[in-house]
Amino acid sequence: MSSGRGAVIIFVHGLWLNGMESVPLRQRLESELDAETHAFHYASRTDSMTEVTVSLERFVRERAASTVHFVGHSLGGLVLLRLLERFPDLPPGRVVFLGTPSVASKAVTAVARFGWLVPLLGACVTEELMSPHSRRWTADRELGVIAGTRALGLGQFFARFDEPSDGTIGVSETRLPGAADHLELPVSHMGMLLSARVAEECAEFLRHGRFRHQE
């Protein structure tokens, strides 16, 4: 647990995951930023968004840190968006979304056509992505978004993307109004968690509020 000095970075995972997939990314961020990292786990299939955000708010407070940065992968980004809407008084910091369907999800819409698959998507996805939402980043902290352009993912088996995608989420689906910066990288939806370049850009944004945008 943090002593209350310095910064911590909290990673929030996506659907069907548990946070262990974030170990390579978190190790790189710890090295780059000399900061503690923590993975927050929630039951993505059964917990409601309200339950998840209340639990995450408690988790953040328990870190007792003066600065808290967040990294959300996929659905984890939407968890962070709702967290900061509901608890705007959390310690200051920056936020990075990795492959988060902030605007829409063609893949989820396609899966929903197969009614028997809907329960597999879970409560949070049903709340956030099964019906239209008008979202905008309004939190008093900078948000950076990284989108993948390597089409390797389960989503492509359900939805046809007529744009670059990470195989699960289309690039346009990640563009959240109000974000400070947006970056496209040649990584897949899960591959971005293993990418050294993604970790470098993530660290850059958490330091300065902007990506490098280097080729």
> The domain spanning residue 44 has which CATH number?
3.40.50.1820
Q: Is residue 18 situated within a structural domain?
A: yes
User: Which residue do the tokens 């990075």 mark?
Assistant: 96
pLDDT at position 113: 65
The pTM is what? 0.91
Q: How many domains does the chain have?
A: 1
- Pairing mode, strands 7-12 and 67-73: parallel
CA distance 199 to 25: 6
Cα separation values, 43 from 2, 9, 19, 56, Å: 25, 20, 11, 12
189: containing domain:
7-134+142-208
Q: Is residue 100 situated within a structural domain?
A: yes
Token digits for 32?
A: 């780059």
Q: Is residue 163 situated within a structural domain?
A: yes
Q: Is residue 213 situated within a structural domain?
A: no
Q: Is residue 1 situated within a structural domain?
A: no
pLDDT at position 152: 80
Q: Is residue 2 situated within a structural domain?
A: no
**pLDDT averaged per 10 residues in sequence order, the chain, 215 residues:** 67 93 97 95 92 98 96 97 97 98 76 61 76 86 97 67 90 96 97 97 97 82
CA distance 211 to 214: 9
Q: Which helix (H) or strand (E) holds 73?
A: strand 67-73
Q: Is residue 169 situated within a structural domain?
A: yes
pLDDT at position 104: 76
pLDDT at position 3: 39
Q: Is residue 59 situated within a structural domain?
A: yes
